[in-house]
Amino acid sequence: MSIENIRKQDPEIAELLDKELNRQREGLVMIPSENFASPAVMEATGTVCTNKYAEGYPGKRYYTGAKYIDMIENLAIERAKELFGAEHANVQPHSGSSANMEVYGALINTGDKVLGMNLAHGGHLTHGSPVNFSGKRYEFIPYGVSKKDEKVDMEEVRQLALKERPKIVLCGTTAYPRKVEFEKFAAIAKEIDAYAFADISHISGLCIAGAHENPVASHDVVMTTTTKTLRGPRSAIIMCKKEDRYHDLYHPDSKKDLAGMIDFSVFPGMQGGPLEHVIAAKAVAFKEAMTDEYKEYQRQIVKNAKALADELMNQGLRLVSGGTDTHLMLIDCTDLNITGKEGANKLADLGIYTNFNMIPFDTRTPFNPSGIRLGTPALTSRGMKEGEMKKVGVAIAAVLKDLDNTDAQENTRKTVSELTEEFKLYPDITYA
Ligand SMILES: *Cc1c(COP(=O)(O)O)cnc(C)c1O
């Protein structure tokens, strides 16, 4: 893979692409939503499919010339269904946020109630934050973690659902280190005749590999981004059951098929022409995800996260909920007398990329919160294992415990360069 043509036509962008490749190579990417897509996935996103308009669905397009595009999209659909065990898959959403908009649009009306996880406790912006379309358009009822152990208390969620009677019970998180109890969420939705909707954006790779419960069987609708642990291109898919559910948004007196409602909401409801080059990349990523090697990779992500969490705690740091069951963890910086932003910025100066994040019951603000969120998907893609995680944990803790300690910073910089030298990223790609 090279960027010869870009270099000829647009040296300014070519130079920045070089720099970005080197930044990724020479640093430790520990932002839990980031990962390294395979060269094959990246190649697919740079193909001629970007030229094709194909509004509609395979076999039902509004444009001619979609013969091969149909075959590509059908492969993506069939692979997604097989991978997750889904009855129906729509592979057209542009991103996780648009996919969530499309799911809400399919299932409920403006002003309806949705039960979703509080952003400050690990939910996503599109799960009802007041600054997001979701919080403006629908009445979100937030649930959070309990104060005693910083985990979701399912009986509290149930009581809230019984009291508020939302139309959708939404679960799924972006900064929650523990397992989501999908079957219990589905049972609560059933009890109040609401839709059960799971957003598994962060953990879908783990779900495929059996390293986390897969909600596809228990939930009406499941959405995932195709990035993050899944390790595909930047995009999303929606999966659902094919059963009939009463729905009054478009046809007040008819029974509608759930799959049809989702498809109709994606196109023409919310999007125009699908990004077929990205759909091709999703198909490639799904094929990669069917291998044993991929499943082993997912299990290693979780083992690595446990090893990293244990080492950080050994070093005296406090982790939200006392550890992790997944690919990510949250460091509470309160006792270190620094903010999450100060800590994350210092680590980034040394080549360790994390992000600052709110922690449950945070007394600080979202732009300068008390937590640092970090995880292991990208480092695991480079081939690192538990031994390397211990080194990384030592290096991170030494910096955070004393932001002015230049010796610690020098050591950490050395650890970063040793690890990135040993575990090469994209050895066959040259941009320069
Ligand atoms: C990342 C994420 C999204 C949004 O995905 P984008 O592609 O960034 O729009 C939605 N929900 C959850 C839980 C996420 O983690």
Judge if 17 and 82 occupy the same domain.
no
Give the position of tokens 């490749």: 21
Distance from C-alpha of 262 to C-alpha of 223, rounded to nearest angstrom: 11
Judge if 23 and 101 occupy the same domain.
no
Give the position of tokens 């692409």: 17
**Residue 188, domain CATH:** 3.40.640.10
pTM of the model: 0.96
- Residue 11: exposure state from Cβ atoms within 10 A (0-12, 13-18, ≥19): exposed
pLDDT at site 100 = 98
- Residue 163: exposure state from Cβ atoms within 10 A (0-12, 13-18, ≥19): exposed
Give 95 Cα–ligand 1 centroid separation in angstroms: 7
Query: Tokens representing 166?
Result: 């939302």
* DSSP secondary structure string for all residues of 133-163: HHHHHSEEEEE-B-TTTSSB-HHHHHHHHHH
Query: Tokens representing 221?
Result: 């609708």
Helix (H), strand (E) counts: the chain: 16, 17
Give 201 Cα–ligand 1 centroid separation in angstroms: 6
pLDDT at site 243 = 77
> Does residue 162 have a pLDDT over 60?
yes
pLDDT at site 256 = 72
Domain of 388, in residue numbers: 4-30+293-422
pLDDT at site 45 = 97
> Of 264, 288, 312, which closes a domain?
288
Catalytic residue among 7, 234, 299, 364: 234
Q: What average pLDDT does range 393-401 have in this prediction?
A: 98
pLDDT at site 255 = 57
Q: Judge whether 248 counts as a catalytic residue.
A: no
Give 414 Cα–ligand 1 centroid separation in angstroms: 34
Query: Tokens representing 424?
Result: 């090469």
- Residue 410: exposure state from Cβ atoms within 10 A (0-12, 13-18, ≥19): exposed
pLDDT at site 245 = 65
Q: What kind and span of H or E run contains 164?
A: helix 154-164
**Is 431 part of any domain?**
no
> Of 272, 288, 304, which closes a domain?
288
pLDDT at site 86 = 98
Q: What is the pLDDT of residues 26-35, one digit of tens each?
A: 999 999 999 9
- Residue 296: exposure state from Cβ atoms within 10 A (0-12, 13-18, ≥19): exposed
Beta-carbon contacts of 206 under 8 Å, excluding residues fewer than 6 positions away, are 212, 229, 298, 301, 302, 326, 327
Q: What is the pLDDT of residues 34-62, one digit of tens each?
A: 999 999 999 999 999 999 999 999 999 99
Report whether residue 220 contacts ligand 1, using a CB cutoff of 6 Å. no
Judge if 135 and 184 occupy the same domain.
yes
Catalytic residue among 102, 150, 199, 220: 199
**Residue 335, domain CATH:** 3.90.1150.10
**Is 37 part of any domain?**
no
- Look at the chain and report how many structural domains it folds into: 2
Report whether residue 202 contacts ligand 1, using a CB cutoff of 6 Å. yes
Q: What is the pLDDT of residues 203-259, one digit of tens each?
A: 999 999 999 999 999 999 999 999 999 999 999 999 999 876 655 545 454 557 899
Q: Could you tell me whether strands 355-357 and 371-375 are parallel, antiparallel, or unpaired per DSSP bridges?
A: antiparallel
Question: Is the CB of residue 360 less than 8 Å from the CB of residue 144?
Answer: yes
Give 395 Cα–ligand 1 centroid separation in angstroms: 29
pLDDT at site 2 = 82
pLDDT at site 431 = 82
Judge if 330 and 415 occupy the same domain.
yes
Distance from C-alpha of 195 to C-alpha of 200, rounded to nearest angstrom: 16
Tell me what the pLDDT averaged over the chain comes to.
95
Q: What is the pLDDT of residues 251-299, one digit of tens each?
A: 454 557 899 999 999 999 999 999 999 999 999 999 999 999 999 999 9
| Mutation test residue for ligand 1: of 31, 103, 129, 201, the one with most atoms within 8 Å of CB | 201
Judge if 282 and 297 occupy the same domain.
no
Question: Is the CB of residue 419 less than 8 Å from the CB of residue 304?
Answer: no
Q: What average pLDDT does range 54-82 have in this prediction?
A: 97
Judge if 246 and 320 occupy the same domain.
no
**Is 429 part of any domain?**
no
Report whether residue 97 contacts ligand 1, using a CB cutoff of 6 Å. yes
Distance from C-alpha of 86 to C-alpha of 413, rounded to nearest angstrom: 45
Report whether residue 132 contacts ligand 1, using a CB cutoff of 6 Å. no
**Is 343 part of any domain?**
yes
**Is 432 part of any domain?**
no
pLDDT at site 157 = 98
Judge if 271 and 303 occupy the same domain.
no
**Is 266 part of any domain?**
yes
Q: Judge whether 225 counts as a catalytic residue.
A: yes
Judge if 23 and 65 occupy the same domain.
no
Query: Tokens representing 222?
Result: 């499941």
Judge if 241 and 304 occupy the same domain.
no
Q: What is the pLDDT of residues 413-424, one digit of tens each?
A: 999 999 999 999
pLDDT at site 252 = 52
**Is 428 part of any domain?**
no
Alpha-helical runs (H) found in 228-351: 258-264, 276-289, 292-314, 340-349
Q: Judge whether 153 counts as a catalytic residue.
A: no
Report whether residue 204 contacts ligand 1, using a CB cutoff of 6 Å. no
**Is 35 part of any domain?**
no
Q: The dihedral of CA 126, 131, 136, 140: what is its sign?
A: positive
> Of 288, 303, 333, which closes a domain?
288
Judge if 9 and 66 occupy the same domain.
no
Report whether residue 373 contacts ligand 1, using a CB cutoff of 6 Å. no
Q: Judge whether 373 counts as a catalytic residue.
A: no
Neighbours of 302 (CB within 10 A): 21
* DSSP secondary structure string for all residues of 304-325: HHHHHHHHHHHTTPEEGGGS-S
Judge if 374 and 298 occupy the same domain.
yes
Report whether residue 325 contacts ligand 1, using a CB cutoff of 6 Å. no
Judge if 65 and 117 occupy the same domain.
yes
Beta-carbon contacts of 327 under 8 Å, excluding residues fewer than 6 positions away, are 32, 202, 203, 206, 229, 301, 302, 305, 375, 376, 377
Question: Is the CB of residue 45 less than 8 Å from the CB of residue 278?
Answer: yes
* % of the chain surpassing 90 pLDDT: 94
Q: What is the pLDDT of residues 310-344, one digit of tens each?
A: 999 999 999 999 999 999 999 999 999 999 999 99
Question: Is the CB of residue 62 less than 8 Å from the CB of residue 244?
Answer: no
* Omega cis (within 30) before 268: yes
The protein residue with its alpha carbon nearest to ligand 1, atom 10, reads 96
- Residue 94: exposure state from Cβ atoms within 10 A (0-12, 13-18, ≥19): middle
* % of the chain surpassing 70 pLDDT: 97
